[in-house]
Amino acid sequence: MKNKILLIIPAFLLVMQSYCQDFTPLLEKAWANNELLQSHNETINAATFAAKEAKALYGPTIKFNTVYTLAAGGRTIQFPVGDLLNPVYSTLNQLTQSSSFPQLENQNVNFLPNNFYDAKFRVEQPIFYPELAINKSLKEGELEIKSLDVKIAKRAVAREVMLTYFQLKQAETYSNVLAESGKLLDEAARTTASMVANGIALPSTKIRVEAQRQALQQQVIEAENSITNARAYLRQLLGDELVDSVILDELPEIPLTTAGIREELLQLEKASDLMSLAIKKEDLFYKPKLGAALDAGSQAFNFGWSPYVLLGINLDINLYDHKRHQYRKDQAKANIMANDLKKSYVTEQLSLKQEVSKNNLMAALRQAATFETRIKSADRNFKDVSIKYREGIAGYLEILDAENLLTTTRLQYTLARFNAWAKWADLQYDMATVDVNN
């Protein structure tokens, strides 16, 4: 037997540090190739720009605005400029013996400006806007949540890569066991053919052995198909051909490292922090908001030039809203309480899942450990029966049963060994031991 089976010590006697196979090269390739992770990264970029935008709200804004109007009709106002000035002008003309002061007509002034423009630059600067700090913290918190989404996705991809890799190795080992079994049947077939030729065995014996070989060939085809499918899936995950970098000749060990914090819990914690910002926002309801605006431009009729500068200070204070802000505050408190309860529930569930995964791994290891004696016994039995069969002491059914027992036991061990590795991958996922921070 090529693969040496390790004796599994009960979990409570394990004192050595558990080793962890280096899946880093495979995982890094899978992370770089995964389009879902790439979309998450773009989402992080969007959240980063949103956080920068929130910070930029503290700075000034500059706008250019122009208005040109043409008007006709509408309301007018009478301006009796002639009635007011004509008597004075007449007196001045008499005194000066001239006509320097003409007579004026009363004017009707239209309220709508005709052929009038107003072009200006406006600079706006917030001076005291408490909500800007809340908005900045909110965008930064959303960025952290998006970053945690990436880590959650990376952890899921890591588990998928591990399980698929184990499936491939299981199928390859399965195929190797069948190949070794095929060699045993080939030897049995040659022995049977010799015995039939010498009249020691009946011709039907040869047919029975050949049927066993064909049944084995069917299993080989299934194993090769499993290998092909597993390699195709890994190729899809990695975006490249698989380069074997992980050795799985031995059984895994139970990790003794402390479990990490799952990103799902960090997200719930961050969600509570963001909800608390809603309470802080409502606490600012009565705080004043102060800003400044500066206009610099020109306005005139008939495209004349008449520059001006206008500085304004705006102050906004909430006085009453019929308790709407208080209800929003109470709503945020209720949401925080609900989220904290959800976090407590998820914490308990994850802790339970870690315990169950560890128990499953321990059970899988104990099951795999039972095969050392069974394989040795089946191998010894096949050798003894083979000797007797060649000597004509044992019948063909005995040699076929011995070969079938050895093959079945080896195949069962293959399934048990890689089942233990699959449980190990589940435990690694549940304990959040894979480094997804890079």
What are the domain boundaries of the chain? 11-62+129-290+320-430, 72-112
Per residue in 285-328, pLDDT tens? 999 999 999 999 999 999 999 999 999 999 999 999 999 999 99
**Does the pLDDT at position 19 exceed 60?**
no
Per residue in 99-153, pLDDT tens? 888 888 887 777 788 899 999 999 999 999 999 999 999 999 999 999 999 999 9
**Contact present, 308 and 297 (Cβ < 8 Å):** yes
What does the angle CA 130 – CA 309 – CA 292 come to, to the nearest 5 degrees? 5
The listed range with the strongest mean pLDDT (98-107, 168-177, 243-252) is 168-177
What Cα–Cα distance (Å) separates residue 60 from each residue in 175, 228, 320?
Answer: 71, 62, 30
Pairing of strands 307-316, 107-110: unpaired
Region 361-383: what's the mean pLDDT?
A: 92
Q: How confident is the model at residue 10 (pLDDT cuts 50, 70, 90)?
A: very low
pLDDT of amino acid 184 = 82
Q: What are the start-end ranges of the E strands in 56-192?
A: 61-69, 76-79, 107-110, 116-128
Residue keyed to tokens 């002008």: 89
Per residue in 188-218, pLDDT tens? 777 767 766 766 666 766 777 778 888 888 8
pLDDT of amino acid 88 = 84
Q: Tell me the percentage of the chain whose pLDDT exceeds 70.
A: 92
The token pair at 278 is: 């809603």
User: Looking at the whole model, is its pTM more than 0.85?
Assistant: no
- Indicate the DSSP class of residue 132: H
CA–CA distance, 138 with 359 (Å, rounded to integer): 41
pLDDT of amino acid 380 = 93
Q: Which helix (H) or strand (E) holds 324?
A: helix 324-369
**Does the pLDDT at position 387 exceed 80?**
yes
Return mean pLDDT, the chain: 87
Question: Considering just the CA atoms, what is the radius of gyration of the chain in Å?
Answer: 43
What letters, b where the CB count within 10 A reaches 16 and e where it falls short, cover 29-60? Answer: bbbebbeebeebeeebeebeebbeebeeeeee
pLDDT of amino acid 199 = 66
User: Which one of 1.10.3720.10, 3.40.50.10800, 1.20.1600.10, 3.40.50.720 gives the CATH number of domain 11-62+129-290+320-430?
Assistant: 1.20.1600.10
Of 415, 436, 270, whose CA–CA distance to 340 is shortest?
Answer: 270
